[in-house]
DNA sequence: GTATATGATATTTTT
DNA sequence: TATCATATAC
């Protein structure tokens, strides 16, 4: 269609590119700047492709054709013979991104992609390297990769072994602390002493050490270890490091804004020799800070890699000027940015719609209607997406879509490999492969029930702990130190009379069966083994006999699992795949509305995007703000930016005045992000009487300036209150707040109130003052489900 | 050792 | 409101 103008452009760009050629052209076969794969790239993209030598930072805004530039760059390296496929290190965060990159390069250069064995996620490449040098990290190369659930269970065991209260100090909490350290590349001996108090009153580092000791015993590594072990190996063995430094002549990193410190260190070590590292990212789309990502990595790039070339991709091919303008205005409130000016020459399009509604149900109804209207106009359902901040917000939409009979597809959610039945089945396979895998043992000894309950397990654990390996000369006190595996302990237990006759009979059977399977495994296809094991163990029967409504689904999943195993030649191959790849043949939503979290939507685009739930405390999330203050606020804002920039043609933001969360009614304030949208790109369409009309309450609300974190004045905005009060008094409306009644402490402005006075609170409605103590008020509210809240907002009723 | 009741707890989650 | 883990009863 636009071939004429595009062709013209590409000729002029070609001319321009030949100017760059001088600097970067050694060794290059003549004429490659005309290679077909460069056609249709804009100047910046082309520059990003051709600047092959030295450090490069590609700042690629949303929708600027990043993936294209990046895959072309790789194709170019291969095509010009600058590097052999195995000399390129290309890292992504997701398997999906890695797969996509591979496919696209294949299309560009054909063959030779198969040789790119170092194209993958940080974790898969880390695992690859670690397997080759496992012994340098005290592991066997057959080590097991633990997932998040295993990690938590292990952490819990460590806490229990240290005689700490597992209620006060949870496995999840410890796993989180350890993860945070690993994200920063810190092994137990490197953790600053003052951080010991992050958890369990100073015992945190000991617990971390014990946790690592347990991992070594189990011959296992968690996700964080895959990189941290790499770092330790590289630092302690310069020869190994050099091997890789020499191998990776060119490095490419996608989503650089989401790298954590460990990943950053890893990249820096590897890049030291050739220094041909190209990092691609967008500081405005860094949304994984809570997982250890450091925006600073990208902000600091030029300092870290002196002489770095910075290339900005600023031409947006995705969104209309309105959408782009709204997003840009929003993100400009952030301070920690490199700054970009996205532009587009698409047509103006409709403004971003902002709509206020009375409650969450109404919001779902409105969006459902909108979707049907779009559908009636001929738009495909899969062109539309509802993006929410948190997954609990999805329920309202699922319910509404179900009643409307709208097909929808939830992306994310409980994943195949995280489901109970899948994890159980995998545990059988893991135990067969590695008898030392205690976590797997624990999980399935008594599943299905074999009469080996808590009592028997306790005996086994006790034996395991008491026994030390012959070759283990460690004397140091280790919390949770465990000498031998549970499987080995079982064999000892069978020789003693520590177990009851019934338990013993059952255990003999179990151990023998596992042994037999292990022998069988050697000359059996993994899928056949899986099938045999699940049948013979009685695991499938367990679900067949189950009355649980979920049983049929679980049986289906087990079938699907066997199917998945059949695609692998070895059990090892399959288990590694499972550990590192979480998705399983994702359906492409043909004719289904997409429903997902904002995080899950990163990297995607849709013609029509709905962004519901833009309310203070939900978005930006109160919890994030409480935990991380301004840094979190900026991250939430980036998340909002990601949301808006997913839209190609239409972006519809909404918020509700009242919302039911976990069955409780709560009143809500519109998100400050709404106020930050530039007016010229926004159409405010609110329910009359709620935010109303031109004279309107919304106007007064949005004209309020200087909004700070949890600023009380913001909550006290008169327009908002008036609107809510008016609405709440009319009969037949949904209650503003429902609940049993509770006592609430109020901490400010108490002096003007008297005991017995009737008051109105922003969030909790009407109540009577029960007591006044100095600056503190205690109020009995008529309707409130909350037991105790410290807040500052009360007015005479 | 297993079935049922209670109660705490619920952002985001690329690997 | 649903889910999970732990506490208790059988």
Determine the nucleotide nearest to A458 by Cα–C1' distance.
B1
Q: What is the pLDDT of residues A590-643, one digit of tens each?
A: 688 999 999 999 999 999 999 999 988 899 998 888 888 888 999 999 999 999
Nucleotides of C under 7 A from a protein CB: 1-2, 6
From CA A663, how far away is CA A315, in angstroms rounded? 45
A599 touches strand B (CB under 7 A): yes
Greatest extent of chain A over all pairs of C-alpha atoms, in Å = 90
* Selected residue with higher pLDDT from A211 and A768: A211
Nucleotide B6 C1' to residue A50 CA (A): 66
**Span A439-444, mean pLDDT?**
89
- Where does the pLDDT of residue A757 fall: very low under 50, low under 70, confident under 90, or very high at 90 and above? low
Residue A67 is labelled as binding a ligand: yes
**Residues A577/A121, Cβ–Cβ less than 8 Å:** no
Mean pLDDT rounded to a whole number for chain A: 79
Which residues of chain A between 636 and 655 are close to nucleic strand B, CB under 7 A?
636
From CA A305, how far away is CA A297, in angstroms rounded? 11
Residue A62 is labelled as binding a ligand: yes
**Span A214-227, mean pLDDT?**
92
Determine the nucleotide nearest to A660 by Cα–C1' distance.
C1
> Is the pLDDT reported for residue A4 higher than 80?
no
How would you list the strands of the sheet with A758-761, edge to edge? A790-791, A742-746, A776-781, A765-773, A758-761, A794-796
Tell me the range of A467-481, A603-617, A650-664, A665-679 where mean pLDDT is highest.
A603-617
Nucleotides of B under 7 A from a protein CB: 1-3, 9-15
- Between strands A758-761 and A794-796, the pairing is antiparallel
* Selected residue with higher pLDDT from A715 and A174: A174
From CA A334, how far away is CA A250, in angstroms rounded? 33
Q: What is the pLDDT of residues A683-707, one digit of tens each?
A: 887 654 444 322 223 333 332 222 2
DSSP state of A646: T
Cβ neighbours of residue A277 closer than 8 Å, sequence gap 6 or more: A55, A56, A251, A252, A253, A267, A271, A305
**Residues A228/A248, Cβ–Cβ less than 8 Å:** no
A149 touches strand B (CB under 7 A): no
A60 touches strand B (CB under 7 A): no
Rg (Cα) of chain A, in Å, rounded?
30
Residue A61 is labelled as binding a ligand: yes
**Residue A267 burial by Cβ neighbours in a 10 Å radius (0-12, 13-18, 19+):** buried
Q: What is the pLDDT of residues A532-573, one digit of tens each?
A: 999 998 888 888 887 777 787 888 888 888 888 888 888 888
**Residues A464/A491, Cβ–Cβ less than 8 Å:** no
**Residues A606/A647, Cβ–Cβ less than 8 Å:** yes
Nucleotide B11 C1' to residue A32 CA (A): 49
Determine the nucleotide nearest to A153 by Cα–C1' distance.
C5
Question: Concatenated DSSP letters for A353-387?
Answer: EEEEEEEHHHHHHHHHHHHHHHHHTT--GGGEEEE
**Span A211-229, mean pLDDT?**
92
Residue A66 is labelled as binding a ligand: yes
Which residues of chain A between 487 and 526 are close to nucleic strand B, CB under 7 A?
500, 503
**Span A177-192, mean pLDDT?**
93
Could you tell me what percent of chain A has a pLDDT over 90?
Answer: 38
> Is the pLDDT reported for residue A8 higher than 50?
no
Quote the pLDDT of residue A785.
35
Beta bridge partners of A654: A355
- Where does the pLDDT of residue A114 fall: very low under 50, low under 70, confident under 90, or very high at 90 and above? confident
Q: Footprint of strand C, using CB within 7 A?
A: A 156, 166, 662-663
Return the SS3 of A486. helix
Q: What is the pLDDT of residues A314-345, one digit of tens each?
A: 999 999 999 999 999 999 999 888 888 899 98
Nucleotide B4 C1' to residue A592 CA (A): 41
Nucleotide C8 C1' to residue A174 CA (A): 29
Cβ neighbours of residue A119 closer than 8 Å, sequence gap 6 or more: A88, A89, A90, A98, A101, A102
Cβ neighbours of residue A269 closer than 8 Å, sequence gap 6 or more: A231, A234, A235, A241, A245
A124 touches strand B (CB under 7 A): yes
Nucleotide B13 C1' to residue A196 CA (A): 25
Residue A663 is labelled as binding a ligand: no
- Residues of A marked active site are found at 66-67, 254-255, 285, 646
Helix (H) or strand (E) holding A505: helix A501-522
Nucleotide C6 C1' to residue A176 CA (A): 22
- Kindly report which amino acid residue has its CA closest to the C1' atom of nucleotide B14: A94
Residue A756 is labelled as binding a ligand: no
Determine the nucleotide nearest to A160 by Cα–C1' distance.
C6
Nearest CA among A295, A339, A252, A311 for reference residue A58: A311
* Selected residue with higher pLDDT from A792 and A85: A85
Residue recorded with tokens 């679900």: A543
């Amino acid at each position: 269609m636009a071939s004429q103008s595009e062709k013209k452009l590409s000729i002029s760009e070609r001319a321009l590119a030949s100017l760059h050629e001088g600097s970067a052209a050694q060794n290059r076969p003549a004429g490659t700047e005309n290679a077909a794969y460069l056609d249709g790239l804009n100047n910046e993209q082309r520059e990003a492709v051709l600047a092959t030598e030295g450090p490069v930072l590609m700042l690629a805004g949303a929708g600027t054709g990043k993936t294209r530039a990046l895959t072309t760059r790789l194709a170019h390296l291969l095509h010009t013979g600058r590097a052999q496929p195995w000399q390129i290190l290309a890292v992504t965060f997701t398997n999906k991104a890695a797969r996509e990159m591979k496919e696209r390069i294949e299309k560009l250069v054909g063959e030779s992609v198969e040789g790119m064995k170092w194209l993958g996620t940080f974790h898969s490449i880390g695992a690859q390297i670690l397997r080759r040098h496992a012994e340098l990290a005290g592991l066997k190369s057959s080590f097991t990769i633990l997932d998040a659930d295993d990690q938590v269970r292990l952490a819990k065991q460590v806490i229990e072994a240290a005689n700490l209260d597992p209620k006060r100090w949870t496995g999840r909490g410890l796993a989180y602390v350890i993860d945070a350290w690993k994200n920063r590349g810190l092994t137990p001996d490197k953790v600053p002493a003052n951080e010991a108090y992050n958890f369990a009153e100073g015992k945190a580092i000991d617990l971390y050490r014990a946790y690592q000791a347990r991992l070594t015993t189990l011959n296992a590594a968690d996700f964080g270890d895959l990189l941290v072990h790499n770092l330790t190996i590289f630092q302690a063995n310069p020869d190994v490091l050099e091997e890789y430094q020499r191998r990776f002549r060119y490095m490419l990193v996608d989503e650089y804004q989401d790298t954590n410190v460990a990943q950053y260190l890893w990249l820096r070590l590897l890049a030291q020799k050739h220094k041909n590292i190209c990092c691609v990212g967008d500081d405005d789309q860094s949304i994984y800070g809570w997982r250890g990502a450091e925006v600073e990595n990208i902000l600091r790039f030029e300092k870290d890699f002196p002489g770095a070339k910075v290339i900005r991709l600023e031409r947006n091919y995705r969104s209309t000027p309105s959408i782009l303008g709204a997003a840009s205005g929003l993100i400009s409130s952030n301070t920690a940015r490199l700054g970009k000016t996205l532009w587009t020459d698409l047509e103006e399009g409709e403004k971003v719609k902002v709509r206020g509604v009375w409650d969450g149900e109404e919001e779902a109804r409105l969006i459902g209607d909108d979707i049907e209207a779009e559908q009636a106009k001929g738009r495909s359902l899969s062109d539309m997406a509802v993006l929410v901040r948190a997954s609990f917000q999805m329920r309202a939409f699922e319910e509404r879509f179900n009643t409307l009979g709208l097909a929808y597809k939830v992306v994310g959610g409980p994943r195949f490999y995280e489901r109970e039945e899948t994890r159980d089945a995998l545990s059988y396979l893991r135990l067969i492969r590695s008898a030392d895998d205690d976590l797997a043992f624990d999980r399935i000894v008594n599943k299905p029930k074999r009469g080996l309950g808590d009592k028997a397990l306790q005996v086994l654990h006790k034996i395991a702990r008491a026994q030390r390996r012959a070759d283990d000369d460690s004397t140091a006190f280790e919390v949770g130190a465990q000498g031998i595996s549970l499987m080995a302990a079982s064999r000892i237990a069978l020789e003693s009379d520590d177990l009851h006759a019934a338990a013993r009979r059952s255990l003999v059977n179990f151990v023998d069966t596992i042994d037999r399977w292990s022998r069988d495994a050697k000359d059996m296809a993994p899928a056949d083994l899986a099938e045999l094991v699940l049948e013979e163990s009685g695991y499938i029967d367990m679900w067949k006999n189950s009355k649980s409504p979920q049983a049929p689904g679980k049986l289906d999943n087990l079938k699907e699992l066997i199917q998945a195993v059949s695609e692998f030649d070895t059990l090892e191959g399959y288990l590694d795949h499972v550990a590192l790849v979480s998705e399983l043949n994702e359906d492409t939503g043909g004719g289904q509305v997409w429903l997902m979290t904002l995080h899950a939507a990163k990297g995607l685009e849709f013609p029509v995007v709905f962004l519901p739930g833009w309310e203070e405390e939900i978005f930006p999330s109160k919890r994030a703000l409480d935990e991380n203050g301004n840094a979190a606020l900026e991250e939430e804002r980036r998340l909002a930016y990601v949301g808006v920039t997913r839209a190609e043609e239409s972006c519809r933001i909404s918020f509700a005045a009242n919302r039911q969360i976990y069955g409780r009614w709560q009143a809500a304030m519109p998100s400050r992000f709404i106020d930050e949208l530039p007016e010229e790109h926004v159409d405010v369409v609110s329910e009359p009487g709620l935010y109303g009309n031109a004279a309107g309450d919304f106007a007064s609300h949005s004209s309020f300036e200087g909004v700070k974190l949890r600023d009380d004045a913001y909550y006290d905005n008169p327009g908002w209150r008036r609107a809510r009060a008016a609405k709440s008094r009319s009969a037949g409306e949904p209650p503003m707040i429902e609940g049993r009644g509770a006592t609430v402490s109020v901490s400010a402005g108490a002096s003007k109130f008297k005991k017995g006075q009737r008051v109105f609170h922003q969030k909790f409605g009407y109540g009577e003052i029960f007591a006044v103590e100095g600056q503190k008020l205690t109020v009995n509210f008529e309707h409130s489900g909350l037991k105790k809240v410290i807040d500052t907002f009360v007015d005479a009723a």
